[in-house]
Amino acid sequence: MTQLLDTPSPSTVPLVDPGMLRSLRPLLRGDVIATDDPGYDEARAIWNGMINRRPAVIARCLGVADALAALQFAREHGLAVSVRSGGHNIAGLAVSDGSLMIDLSRMRGVRVDPSARTAHAHAGCLLSDVDRETQVHGLAAVLGFISTTGIAGLTLGGGFGYLTRRFGWTCDTVRSMEVVTADGRIVQASEKENRDLFWGLRGGGGNFGVVTSFEYQLYPVGPQIFGGALAWRGEDAPVILEAYRNLLSTAPPEMTCVAALRRAPPAPWLAKEVHGQPIIALFICHTGEPERAEALLAPLRALRVPVGDTVQRRSYLSQQSLLDATQPKGRRYYWKSECLSTLDPAMLAPLLDHAARIASPHSAILLFPLDGAIASLPDDHSATGNRDAGLVLNIAAAWDDDAQDAGNIAWARAAWQDMRPFSTGGAYINFQTDDEGEERIRAAYGANYERLAEVKSRWDSDNVFRMNKNIAPRP
Ligand SMILES: Cc1cc2nc3c(=O)[nH]c(=O)nc-3n(C[C@H](O)[C@H](O)[C@H](O)COP(=O)(O)OP(=O)(O)OC[C@H]3O[C@@H](n4cnc5c(N)ncnc54)[C@H](O)[C@@H]3O)c2cc1C
- For the stretch 165-195, pLDDT in tens is 999 999 999 999 999 999 999 999 999 999 9
- For the stretch 54-83, pLDDT in tens is 999 999 999 999 999 999 999 999 999 999
CB 172 within 8 A of CB 382: yes
Same domain assignment for residues 362 and 276:
yes
Q: Determine the distance separating the centroid of ligand 1 and the alpha carbon of 200, expressed in angstroms.
A: 16
123 lines ligand 1 (CB under 6 A): yes
- For the stretch 142-164, pLDDT in tens is 999 999 999 999 999 999 999 99
442 domain residue, yes or no: no
Domain boundary among 51, 83, 103: 103
Same domain assignment for residues 83 and 118:
no
- Identify each DSSP E strand in 61-203 by its residue range: 81-84, 100-103, 110-113, 118-122, 139-140, 174-180, 186-190
Q: Determine the distance separating the centroid of ligand 1 and the alpha carbon of 203, expressed in angstroms.
A: 11
Same domain assignment for residues 205 and 264:
no
92 lines ligand 1 (CB under 6 A): no
Same domain assignment for residues 394 and 268:
yes
Same domain assignment for residues 18 and 149:
no
210 lines ligand 1 (CB under 6 A): yes
440 domain residue, yes or no: no
372 lines ligand 1 (CB under 6 A): no
> How many CA atoms does the CB half-sphere of 180 hold within 13 Å?
22
Structural domain total, the chain = 3
- For the stretch 219-255, pLDDT in tens is 999 999 999 999 999 999 999 999 999 999 999 999 9
Domain boundary among 68, 103, 138: 103
Same domain assignment for residues 281 and 309:
yes
Same domain assignment for residues 353 and 321:
yes
86 lines ligand 1 (CB under 6 A): yes
Does 11 score more than 60 pLDDT?
no
Nearest Cα residue to 471 out of 442, 443, 447? 442
Nearest Cα residue to 172 out of 202, 151, 192, 200? 202
445 domain residue, yes or no: no
Q: Determine the distance separating the centroid of ligand 1 and the alpha carbon of 434, expressed in angstroms.
A: 14
CB count within 10 Å of CB 186 equals 15
The reported pLDDT for the residue numbered 13 is: 55
Amino acid sitting at position 284: I
The reported pLDDT for the residue numbered 376 is: 94
What CATH code is carried by the domain that includes residue 189? Answer: 3.30.465.10
Same domain assignment for residues 388 and 257:
yes
Name the residue range of residue 34's domain: 2-103
On average, the pLDDT of the chain sits at 95
The reported pLDDT for the residue numbered 7 is: 45
Res. 2 pLDDT band, cuts 50 70 90 = very low
Does 358 score more than 80 pLDDT?
yes
Q: Determine the distance separating the centroid of ligand 1 and the alpha carbon of 300, expressed in angstroms.
A: 33
Does 16 score more than 80 pLDDT?
no
Domain boundary among 54, 80, 103: 103
Q: Determine the distance separating the centroid of ligand 1 and the alpha carbon of 473, expressed in angstroms.
A: 22
438 domain residue, yes or no: no
Same domain assignment for residues 248 and 358:
yes
Q: What letters, b where the CB count within 10 A reaches 16 and e where it falls short, cover 329-343? A: eebbbbbbbbbbbeb
- For the stretch 416-474, pLDDT in tens is 999 999 999 999 999 999 899 899 999 999 999 999 999 999 999 999 999 999 999 99
Percent of the chain with pLDDT over 90: 94
The reported pLDDT for the residue numbered 14 is: 57
The reported pLDDT for the residue numbered 17 is: 81
